Amino acid sequence: MLASVLETPWLDEAAIPCRPQPDLFFAEAPADVEAAKALCADCPVRARCLADALDRHEPWGVWGGELLVAGQVVARKRPRGRPRKNVEPVAA
């Protein structure tokens, strides 16, 4: 998945959790995004993966256990759909 990370000579590619299912790391569903982030937890190149992604200004996806949106780390993926309307009662 990560060209620069995978160029690391000591790295066993089989130890990289995203290798078998790269699409999960660019998923739309918030649950899938959280699943991808959880898989990164045991990755031996997690810190470098995130640092490299930020250096490359990756526009989106899960990198190093973090979700990037528009090149920035965000806590959660927002579900699709319209934003909620203001449900606060309006004072008369």
Is the distance from CB of 15 to CB of 45 less than 8 angstroms?
A: no
**Nearest distance from residue 82's CB to ligand SF4, in Å?**
30
Q: Which is nearer to ligand SF4, 11 or 89 (CB)?
A: 11
- Contact residues toward ligand SF4 (CB under 6 A) are 1-2, 5, 16-18, 25, 39-40, 43, 45-46, 49, 62-65
Q: How many CB atoms lie within 10 A of CB 33?
A: 20
49 marked as part of a ligand binding site: yes
Is the distance from CB of 68 to CB of 50 less than 8 angstroms?
A: no
8 marked as part of a ligand binding site: no
**Nearest distance from residue 2's CB to ligand SF4, in Å?**
5
39 marked as part of a ligand binding site: no
Q: Which is nearer to ligand SF4, 30 or 44 (CB)?
A: 44
**Could you tell me which residues come within 8 angstroms of residue 36 by beta carbon, excluding any fewer than 6 positions away?**
18, 24, 25, 27, 62
Q: What CA–CA distance (Å, rounded) separates 36 from 80? A: 18
18 marked as part of a ligand binding site: yes
